Every structure is written in structure tokens, then in C-alpha cells.
């Protein structure tokens, strides 16, 4: 008999629960959110993981708030680190016992986009559109990893194997950030053109924004400024050397000028996405606020990295444009300033090995930067509720106790 498998499932807006689900097999079964054309796909090239760490992400929170078309019962979780307990007959380079990081974007390694390293828009894993992810609405229906066990397809291509099991367990709280937010934040900064000596503004001090800020420092930025409405999150950004802007005070450009002596930066990152709010006290939701603000404060010829999530359907949108994913972006300003824009899923495999090496050799302390906080699987509903209220923490689920004695390094 296979072991029991408990997982975090979406119920309705504002509610998740831990429930027992089927133990994974090397075949994609029918279930909530599974694309009909994916049902029955055999994954001889897949593995089953014992989940050692799985993180709650802001993208999960969008679904839990009811801001997507996620169905009831969808098993959540696309940030997964685990130990291989079973491998398919076609797996060649991954062994039982390996500890691995799972890129949140699922990629086949065979299609044109994968061969061009555009693994966030694989053509073979989601019948509905390019790109897939675990436990996410409209992303193919691959079962999420906020669970005790999960199946990962195309293991040889997707998985990042840590070179030393003991070292991996020691640094597990940092290494678990490699599945999504660290590469995503890093991608946002690289896309913004930031580098040695740059001045960088990061909109949003949630975990992705904090990861972007730490990435900008890793890349040699001269000044990193983080903007947010949340005082606790701004304090977290200052804890590792960032300057901050409180957007509840109003305009960003004046506060940037107070820091830099001029109201512009070289590079900007949108780590907020479609649930943005206008600037000022008690500001209403305004989906294009961040994008329009960044075009205003980024120098002519600069670039915007946009890892923040924008969706094609938002049932809770403030108007009909927002509900169809059509924010009122001031594109003319970006055009006049010759800005470059990079959007979409981060291609995690472009970055994760290099970032792993930075963690293993202690060039970056990403768990501390993002406020990593370990909780049990049964505490997931509390983690979601506190995260929704703006807690400055990155909640990491610990389904098998692998993180019981692990601390940020």
C-alpha cells in the first residue's frame, strides 16, 4: 500500500484546507483543474518526490483570494523541493535518494521553446496555452506540491540535483527559494538591465520583491530602493541594506529624489502585478498603477522587468477592462522614453544552478532576506490568512519535518 498523501486544496475565496488525496503515480489522473487532454498522460520520464519543503507564493494567494477561475479542490503549490523516492523507467540521470529543486514551470525539453531555453512557455505540457506550472489555474492541471508527495514529469530535464545531500539539508531553507521566487526576482532584475553601479527601484516588498532586491545587490547595484504600502515589509527590506519608499505617502519620484538626488532610476522591477493599488493613503485598487509609475521614474533608455503576475481573467477586477486583463497602461510614455519591457514566467532553469552555487558558497542569504518562516502542513490555512493580511514572511511548509532544525544562513 502506498503511504497516505495530504495536501493543501483551494476551497473558495479566502479558504484552503488540508485534505487527503491520492498518492501520485507516473500518470496524470483526472481531477480539479486538469486539462481533459492531459488526463492519462503517462510519465515514464517522471519521478515521485517526498516533499521536503513547499512554499506559499503570492501567486497562490491570488487564487485563494478568488481573483482567478481556480476550481474548488485544486491542490496548490508550485514551489517544491524534495527527495526522489521513485523514478520512472525512462529516467537516466536522477536517482532515488537525490535531493532536488523543482522549477515551478514544467518543461518538456523537446519543443522549440525549451530548446531555446524559454522553459516558461513550453509547448507540450499544457493543451490550453504555452507554459505550465504545478497546482495553478489554467496551467495544465499538474497536481501541486503543497503536499507530502508529488509527481514531477520530465525529471532529467527539469530537476536541479543538489551535489551533496548533507549540505542540501543544512541549507534547505535557502535552497527551497530556488524553485521560484529567487530566480523570479533575479530574472526581474536582469530583465531591467541592472548591474554594477546601477540604481534600482523595486515595486513591492513581498517575497518576490525582496528576492529581487537581494538579487540587485548580488549583481552589484549601487543603490536598491524598495517601495510598498506595508510598513513591516519595508522594514524587512531595510534589514538587509535597501532604501525604502512608502507609497502610502504619495508620489514615488519625490521620495526617490530624496534618496538619490534625482527622481529617476536606471532600472525598475514590478514585483506587484495586477492587484496593485494607487499611491496615497487608503488608495483604491488600480491595476496599471505600478507599470505607469515605473515608466515615470525609469530613465530614458532604461528597462522594466515585470515578474509581477498579470492575468487574462480577473473575476474580481475593478472594472470591465481589469476583468479581462486589460489594464490602462500609459504605453505612450514608455514608447517616448524608449523603454524595454520583459514580462511572463521566469525561465527558472536559466538561473537556478548559478543561484544554487551562490547559496552554497554563501554569496547570498536569501531565506533571511525574504523572511522565511517554517510552518507545518496543517498550519497552511493560518499561513495563507496571515500572508493575506500582509505578514512580512515567506511561509515554508514542512510536511515531513526536514526543516525542524534548519535555520536561515
Give me the phi and psi of 84, to 5 degrees please.
-70, 125
The answer to whether residue 404 sits within a structural domain is no
Does 274 share its domain with 225? Answer: yes
Quote the distance between the C-alpha of residue 305 and its chain's center.
Answer: 14
Sign of the dihedral through C-alpha 256, 258, 261, 263: positive
- C-beta separation of 145 from 153 below 8 A: no
Does 337 share its domain with 356? Answer: no
Question: What tens digit of pLDDT does each residue of 335-346 get?
Answer: 999 999 999 999
The answer to whether residue 132 sits within a structural domain is yes
- Please state, in angstroms and rounded to a whole number, the distance separating the CA atoms of residues 195 and 35: 41
The answer to whether residue 93 sits within a structural domain is yes
- The per-residue DSSP string of 11-59 comes to EETTEEEEEEEPPP-SBPPP-TT--GGGTT-B-TT-EEEEEEEEE--HH
- C-beta separation of 72 from 13 below 8 A: no
Does 272 share its domain with 361? Answer: no
Q: Any residues with CB less than 8 A from the CB of 370 and at least 6 apart, and which?
A: 177, 181, 207, 210, 211, 214, 236, 394
As a residue count, the chain comes to 409
For 78-90, what is the mean pLDDT?
98
Does 126 share its domain with 254? Answer: no
Does 195 share its domain with 165? Answer: no
Q: What angle do CA 406, 147, 38 make, to 5 degrees?
A: 135
Question: What tens digit of pLDDT does each residue of 247-267 get?
Answer: 999 889 999 999 999 999 999
- Per-residue cell: 4: 497516505
What is the domain-level CATH number for residue 379? 3.90.180.10
For 326-334, what is the mean pLDDT?
94
- Please state, in angstroms and rounded to a whole number, the distance separating the CA atoms of residues 184 and 177: 10
Does 220 share its domain with 247? Answer: yes
- Please state, in angstroms and rounded to a whole number, the distance separating the CA atoms of residues 141 and 75: 9
- Please state, in angstroms and rounded to a whole number, the distance separating the CA atoms of residues 255 and 374: 35
For 10-18, what is the mean pLDDT?
96
Tell me: pLDDT of 99 over 90.
yes
Does 224 share its domain with 278? Answer: yes
Does 261 share its domain with 112? Answer: no
Does 310 share its domain with 366? Answer: no
Tell me: pLDDT of 8 over 90.
yes
Q: What angle do CA 175, 179, 181 make, to 5 degrees?
A: 90
Tell me: pLDDT of 95 over 70.
yes
Phi-psi region of 227 (alpha: psi -120 to 50; beta: other; left: phi over 0): beta
The answer to whether residue 347 sits within a structural domain is no
- Which of 303, 321, 342 lies at the terminal end of a domain, its last residue? 342
The answer to whether residue 409 sits within a structural domain is no
Tell me: pLDDT of 29 over 80.
yes
**What percentage of the chain carries pLDDT values higher than 70?**
100
The answer to whether residue 156 sits within a structural domain is yes
- Please state, in angstroms and rounded to a whole number, the distance separating the CA atoms of residues 65 and 259: 35
CA-based R_g, the chain, Å: 20
Does 70 share its domain with 197? Answer: no
Query: Which residue stretches of 239-351 are H helix?
Result: 252-260, 289-297, 320-323, 331-336
- Please state, in angstroms and rounded to a whole number, the distance separating the CA atoms of residues 196 and 266: 11
The answer to whether residue 406 sits within a structural domain is no
Tell me: pLDDT of 409 over 70.
no
Does 58 share its domain with 194? Answer: no
Tell me how many domains the chain contains.
2
What is the domain-level CATH number for residue 285? 3.40.50.720
pLDDT at 323: 86
- Which of 319, 342, 365 lies at the terminal end of a domain, its last residue? 342
Query: Range of 376's domain?
Result: 5-180+352-397
Tell me: pLDDT of 324 over 80.
yes
Tell me: pLDDT of 130 over 90.
yes
- C-beta separation of 29 from 171 below 8 A: no
- Please state, in angstroms and rounded to a whole number, the distance separating the CA atoms of residues 154 and 161: 14
- Please state, in angstroms and rounded to a whole number, the distance separating the CA atoms of residues 45 and 98: 16
Does 244 share its domain with 114? Answer: no
- Which of 322, 342, 362 lies at the terminal end of a domain, its last residue? 342
The answer to whether residue 328 sits within a structural domain is yes
- Per-residue cell: 113: 521553446
CA of 397: how far to CAs of 90, 380, 407, in Å? 30, 7, 14
Amino acid at each position: 500500500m502506498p503511504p497516505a498523501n495530504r495536501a493543501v486544496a483551494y476551497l473558495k475565496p479566502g479558504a484552503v484546507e488540508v485534505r487527503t488525496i491520492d498518492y501520485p503515480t507516473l500518470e496524470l489522473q483526472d481531477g480539479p483543474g486538469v486539462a481533459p487532454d492531459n488526463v492519462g498522460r503517462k510519465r515514464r520520464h517522471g519521478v515521485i518526490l517526498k516533499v521536503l519543503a513547499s512554499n506559499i507564493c503570492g501567486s497562490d494567494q491570488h487564487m485563494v483570494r478568488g481573483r482567478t477561475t481556480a476550481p474548488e479542490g485544486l491542490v496548490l503549490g508550485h514551489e517544491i523541493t524534495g527527495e526522489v523516492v521513485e523514478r520512472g523507467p525512462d529516467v537516466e540521470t536522477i536517482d532515488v535518494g537525490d535531493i532536488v529543486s523543482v522549477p515551478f514551470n514544467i518543461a518538456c525539453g523537446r519543443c522549440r521553446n525549451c530548446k531555446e531555453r524559454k522553459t516558461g512557455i513550453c509547448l507540450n505540457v499544457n493543451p490550453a496555452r504555452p507554459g505550465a506550472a504545478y497546482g495553478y489555474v489554467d496551467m495544465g492541471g499538474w497536481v501541486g506540491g503543497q503536499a507530502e508527495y508529488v509527481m514531477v514529469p520530465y525529471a532529467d530535464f527539469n530537476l536541479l540535483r543538489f551535489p551533496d545531500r548533507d549540505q542540501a539539508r543544512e541549507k534547505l531553507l535557502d535552497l527551497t527559494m530556488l524553485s521560484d521566487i529567487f530566480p523570479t526576482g533575479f530574472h526581474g532584475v536582469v530583465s531591467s538591465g541592472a548591474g554594477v553601479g546601477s540604481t534600482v527601484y523595486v515595486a513591492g516588498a513581498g517575497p518576490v520583491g525582496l528576492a529581487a532586491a537581494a538579487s540587485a545587490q548580488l549583481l552589484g547595484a549601487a543603490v536598491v530602493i524598495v517601495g510598498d504600502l506595508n510598513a513591516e515589509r519595508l522594514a524587512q527590506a531595510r534589514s538587509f541594506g535597501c532604501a525604502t519608499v512608502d507609497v502610502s505617502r504619495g508620489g514615488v519620484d519625490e521620495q526617490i529624489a530624496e534618496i538619490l538626488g534625482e527622481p529617476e532610476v536606471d532600472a525598475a522591477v514590478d514585483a506587484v502585478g495586477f492587484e496593485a493599488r494607487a499611491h496615497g493613503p487608503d488608495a483604491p485598487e488600480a491595476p496599471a498603477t505600478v507599470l505607469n509609475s515605473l515608466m515615470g521614474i525609469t530613465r530614458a533608455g532604461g528597462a522594466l522587468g515585470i515578474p509581477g503576475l498579470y492575468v487574462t481573467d480577473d473575476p474580481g477586477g475593478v472594472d470591465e477592462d481589469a476583468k479581462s486583463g486589460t489594464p490602462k497602461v500609459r504605453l505612450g510614455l514608455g514608447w517616448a522614453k524608449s523603454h524595454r519591457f520583459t514580462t511572463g514566467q521566469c525561465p527558472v532553469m536559466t538561473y537556478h544552478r548559478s543561484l544554487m552555487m551562490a547559496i552554497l558558497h554563501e554569496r547570498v542569504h536569501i531565506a533571511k532576506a525574504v523572511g522565511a518562516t517554517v510552518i507545518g502542513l496543517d498550519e497552511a490555512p493560518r499561513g495563507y490568512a496571515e500572508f493575506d493580511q500582509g505578514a512580512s514572511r515567506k511561509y515554508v511548509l514542512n510536511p515531513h519535518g526536514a526543516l525542524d532544525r534548519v535555520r536561515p544562513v
